[in-house]
Structure 1
Amino acid sequence: MKVLAADGISPKGIELLQKEFEVDVRDKISAEELLEVIPQYDALMVRSASKVTAEVINRAEKLKIIGRAGVGVDNIDIPAATAKGIIVINSPGGNTIAATEHTMAMMLAMSRNIPIANETMQKGEWNRKQYVGVELRNKTLGVIGMGRIGSGVAKRAMAFDMNVIAYDPYINEDRAKDLGVTVGTLDDVITQSDFITVHMPLTPDTKGMIGMEQMKKMKKGVRLVNCARGGIIVEEDLAEAVKQGIVAGAAIDVFTSEPVGADHPLVGVPGIVLTPHLGASTVEAQVGVSLDVSEGILAALKGEPVATAVNMAPVSPQVMKVIAPYLTLAERLGGTVASLAEAPVKKVEVTYNGEITEVNTGMLTTAVIKGLLNPIMENDVNYVNAPGLAKERGIKVTEVKKKEAEDFANLITVKADIGGGKNLTVQGTLFGSEARIVRINKFRVDVDPQARILVCPHINKPGVIGTIGTFLGVHGINISGMQVGKTEVEGTSLMVLTVDHDIPASVLKDVKGIDGIIDAKLVNFYAI
């Protein structure tokens, strides 16, 4: 597999990928060049310079993952990537400290007039009285967006004896109390703050959320900081507000369009401090985001889930630690259903029992669907496109949680409706760290879902097991394990044989014709 690293990715991450894959480094690649070469690659790493448009994505013939070495992903067409089943990941934590510290640096530089004071001193001037600043102590800082960076800024601001009022639609009172901040509405932050810093993603809802209308409501002497995404603060309005004295000053690191030219409305306005998108530009942050994204690409190209994928439900490290051991099991349960089903699956109900119900199991349900669809789909099925593919095929998926456990501490049950009033049920659990299928329909079994198994419901009478063993031996198919699952239905059993080789369709047909064999289906876990 081949990886394209664009935009000056840190060598540390590239070295990690080179241990497994061929990596081409193109620090400065034009849009035209990216379109030309992208069909060759399985993975793409970018920072903010390269625009991964729908055209680029549609030209990508092998692309499985796009890694953004940083937080913002507005330079990637995520809907186009999702539609094509391409995973998009970022590094939400790799540059948190860098962006947090840069926000504080911008706030201090603006409040103490450091940039203009330095500039005039370099010219030989001494303007001590002209550049009197303001203190942070006892001022109110309004934080719009209390994610990792917003929370980090709030923590550091309180060390400066600032009062912090925060607006975030998703923060609750308990979290706010832990952080030591007051929660308010957006209007509360706008009207009560001496400094305002934004830490929201750029979305249709946040674009232009602070314009002249909001600035006119602010306290006299207010100062604004934006080290998040360009466009949250209306740039033309900010320039005019500073010129008119409505806003005392601003410190801006991000812009609607980058790079910024001399004709930009914020350039040359006294009282506005500008930096060229330096929020994540520290040695430590560049190494951190590079390693984060490289690890995600390694996982994705091996078919494993990536917790930092932005076009699927995010999974916290704490939740991932709980569900990770169950992911392969969940996928193999879905694959078992696909292999054993006599007709197309119409509905799938995934039930969780035990302690695992205490965490978000959405990714496990997606793993079940991935396993269900992989044996029957021409294209690769992954954690991004599996839910959409199931919907396209008319498969209804539901998830049920039951805290009480049955015979096991944790249990995953996959029940499939195959029409005609028929259902197929497969259950699995972990024995320590080892995955096991423990029930197929009403039959209690103990199956290692790591190889190939031949599943044969049969009449419980002498000679059936020996006959099938001999028959497979004649055809050169070695049996490495065998067990019989019983049920309450008298006279029927379920034989499960672990076999070392594929079984040709003609041989499988002959197995079904053996006296006493009700049916025979091969489940090839290597293909799931």
Structure 2
Amino acid sequence: MKVFVADDISSLGLDRLKQYQEIEIEKRTGLKEDELIAAVSDAEALLVRSQTKVTRKVIQACGQLKVIGRAGVGVDNIDVDAATEHGIVVINAPDGNTISAAEHTFAMLISLSRHIPQARQTMQEGKWDRKTFVGVELSGKTLAVVGMGRIGTEVAKRAKAFGMRLVAYDPFLTEDRAKTLGVTLKSLEDAVAEADFVTVHTPLTKDTKHIIDEKMFGKMKTGVRIVNCARGGIIDEVALCEALTSGKVAGAAFDVFEEEPVTADHPLLQFPQVITTPHLGASTVEAQVNVAVSVAEEVGHVLVGKPFKNAVNIPSLSEEQKQYLQPHLNLGERLGKFVGQLASGAMSEVEMVFCGELDDSDLPFVSRSVLKGLLGYRYGDEVNFINAPTLAKQAGMTIRQVRESQHKVFTHLLSLSVRVNGELHKVAGTLYNGLGPRIVEIEGYPIDASTEGKMIFTKHHDRPGMIGHLGSMLGKEQINIAAMQVGRKETGGEAVMLLTVDKLVPESVVHELSQLPGIHEVQTIVL
């Protein structure tokens, strides 16, 4: 079996594949798309880092491909949907660079507090300047950690060792879990308002893009210091430059940027109190070895039929099982994604009710798909089909599965209920022949909607003209409505509406919609 390696991957990782006599390794890097297709046409496995783009065209042309391995966390360079359609397992290495990223964050914190890069630069210039670089101690200072996933948790551990006081914002973190980690859970506004240092560790989503913006900088102490070693775009760079200019922010340390690579005229590079590195969070010998070893071991297990744990898309199923279960897995993941965006917050209880044709042995697979979708907005690329139940347990969530033989209306129905910050949210879906997965209930209201696309969800008072007001406002913003579904229980009461639109709806438009008379709630959802 041929394994083709398209990027530079640690030889220590590839050595794990060489233990299998039936596996042959071929390595060539820097290939263009057509060259990659030719090289992988007879391969059973493809190994990449972030440089090689594994497109739908590549996947469709490689009929023997069984597994694609990504030596790292993110799989943005792989068309996962195309791989899934062709029954190809996509493997990543979600744990390999956690410590590396956490340590780099802390290196930035220390460098920021003591002006280490700036002081070194003046010494290169022949100066001996001690007065300019008087720093601050970390001990006794308050660190706000925005996002308490794996890396945020590791940063918090190190901050405690330095005697820092820890506050955290994570809408998915329960109070019990926060106590276990030794952090005080706060709203985002309160966390940044108390902080001497702020570090962000969230995935980049529509909810976290520019989560630290002009408004948040306005709530911070004068002299606060900011660190971003997570994803470019979590912090509004324009607003940060303004805060640096005004003196509100005393310094910043950035490893990631909204546009990469960064050019010499980038505004942040013009501030002497800003420390920058070129996306080095995972750039340690250990991290590169860890991700290479992890993904190579997993790819080897897939090829020789052993169990594997880091599948991004599908589990270890037979071809017959995949064909039968794939529509159910898709429905489960999409319902999870829907609720995850509908009600962002600390999820404490999850109940899945399965009605209809699935066997008891099928339920764990669909349950994992639901959790993968549900946790996707918290963990981003770190969550996969295999580790989703573990991450849910670590987050303090109680998972309950209920099996019912039949439903009075639908042949098959999956109902998902999630308790978020004490409130119960519910969505249900089914499979229609020829139409694929459909949403048939939202928050107790009957509806019939697709599970794909960019959407606007509203709760509103059911009265004449409501749909027209929404449509007019969206039309004014050049946002076309592709589909619309309304659900209600009684005339003149509360109703829900799900609009599928052709492009993402800006937050400013969402705010305007929420101000319309009779509108009680507006959410954007992307499936």
Say which SS state the counterpart of residue 301 (structure 2) adopts: helix
Kindly indicate whether residue 51 of structure 2 is the aligned counterpart of residue 19 of structure 1: no
Q: Distance in 2 between matches of 1:158 and 1:241?
A: 28
Cα deviation, residue 164, structure 1? 0.8
Partner of 1:191: 193
Cα deviation, residue 96, structure 1? 1.4
Is the 8 Å Cα contact of residues 53 and 77 (structure 1) preserved in structure 2? yes
Per the normalisation by structure 2, the TM-score is 0.59
Partner of 1:9: 9
Question: In structure 2, do the counterparts of structure 1 residues 102 and 58 end up closer, same or farther at CA, with 3 Å as the change threshold?
Answer: same
Cα deviation, residue 217, structure 1? 2.3
1:63-462 to structure 2, matched below 5 A, reads: 63-312=65-314, 348-351=357-360, 362-363=364-365, 396=412
Say which SS state the counterpart of residue 262 (structure 2) adopts: coil
What fraction of aligned residue pairs are identical, expressed as a percent?
A: 52
Cα deviation, residue 361, structure 1? 6.2
Say which SS state the counterpart of residue 66 (structure 1) adopts: strand
Q: Distance in 2 between matches of 1:256 and 1:74?
A: 16
Question: In structure 2, do the counterparts of structure 1 residues 366 and 179 end up closer, same or farther at CA, with 3 Å as the change threshold?
Answer: closer
Cα deviation, residue 148, structure 1? 1.5
Is the 8 Å Cα contact of residues 7 and 29 (structure 1) preserved in structure 2? no
Q: Distance in 2 between matches of 1:108 and 1:32?
A: 46
Question: In structure 2, do the counterparts of structure 1 residues 56 and 189 end up closer, same or farther at CA, with 3 Å as the change threshold?
Answer: farther
Is the 8 Å Cα contact of residues 4 and 39 (structure 2) preserved in structure 1? no
CA deviation vs aligned residue, 1:327-380 (integer Å, no higher than 9, x gap): 89x979x99xxxxxxxxxx9633237xxxxxxx96238899xxxxxxxxxxxxx
Per the normalisation by structure 1, the TM-score is 0.59
Q: Distance in 2 between matches of 1:255 and 1:3?
A: 34
Q: Structure 2: which 5+ runs fail to align? A: 326-354, 370-384, 387-409, 416-527
Is the 8 Å Cα contact of residues 5 and 14 (structure 1) preserved in structure 2? no
Letter in 2 for 1:137: S
Is the 8 Å Cα contact of residues 220 and 247 (structure 1) preserved in structure 2? yes
The alignment's C-alpha RMSD in Å is 3.4
Letter in 2 for 1:234: D
Cα deviation, residue 140, structure 1? 1.1
Say which SS state the counterpart of residue 267 (structure 2) adopts: coil
Cα deviation, residue 251, structure 1? 1.0
CA deviation vs aligned residue, 1:121-166 (integer Å, no higher than 9, x gap): 1121112111111111111111111111111100110111111111
Cα deviation, residue 71, structure 1? 2.1
Cα deviation, residue 292, structure 1? 0.7
Letter in 1 for 2:83: A
Letter in 1 for 2:146: I
Say which SS state the counterpart of residue 349 (structure 1) adopts: coil
Letter in 2 for 1:9: I
Say which SS state the counterpart of residue 90 (structure 2) adopts: strand
CA deviation vs aligned residue, 1:379-423 (integer Å, no higher than 9, x gap): xxxx89xxxxxxxxx994879xxxxxxxxxxxxxxxxxxxxxxxx
Is the 8 Å Cα contact of residues 105 and 281 (structure 2) preserved in structure 1? yes
Say which SS state the counterpart of residue 281 (structure 1) adopts: coil
Letter in 2 for 1:169: P
Cα deviation, residue 186, structure 1? 2.0
Question: In structure 2, do the counterparts of structure 1 residues 252 and 366 end up closer, same or farther at CA, with 3 Å as the change threshold?
Answer: closer
CA deviation vs aligned residue, 1:473-508 (integer Å, no higher than 9, x gap): xxxxxxxxxxxxxxxxxxxxxxxxxxxxxxxxxxxx
Question: In structure 2, do the counterparts of structure 1 residues 184 and 95 end up closer, same or farther at CA, with 3 Å as the change threshold?
Answer: same
Which one has the largest radius of gyration? 1
Partner of 2:339: none
Q: Distance in 2 between matches of 1:77 and 1:225?
A: 31
Letter in 1 for 2:13: G
Cα deviation, residue 79, structure 1? 3.3
Say which SS state the counterpart of residue 63 (structure 2) adopts: coil
Structure 1 segments (4+ residues) deviating >6 Å: 364-367
CA deviation vs aligned residue, 1:22-42 (integer Å, no higher than 9, x gap): 222234445564355343433
Letter in 2 for 1:95: N
Q: Distance in 1 between matches of 2:363 and 2:3?
A: 31
Partner of 1:494: none
Number of paired residues? Answer: 345
1:32-47 to structure 2, matched below 5 A, reads: 33-34=35-36, 37-47=39-49
Q: Structure 1: which 5+ runs fail to align? A: 314-323, 336-345, 353-359, 368-382, 385-393, 400-528
Q: Distance in 1 between matches of 2:33 and 2:411?
A: 39
CA deviation vs aligned residue, 1:404-454 (integer Å, no higher than 9, x gap): xxxxxxxxxxxxxxxxxxxxxxxxxxxxxxxxxxxxxxxxxxxxxxxxxxx
Cα deviation, residue 59, structure 1? 4.1
Q: Distance in 2 between matches of 1:275 and 1:97?
A: 17
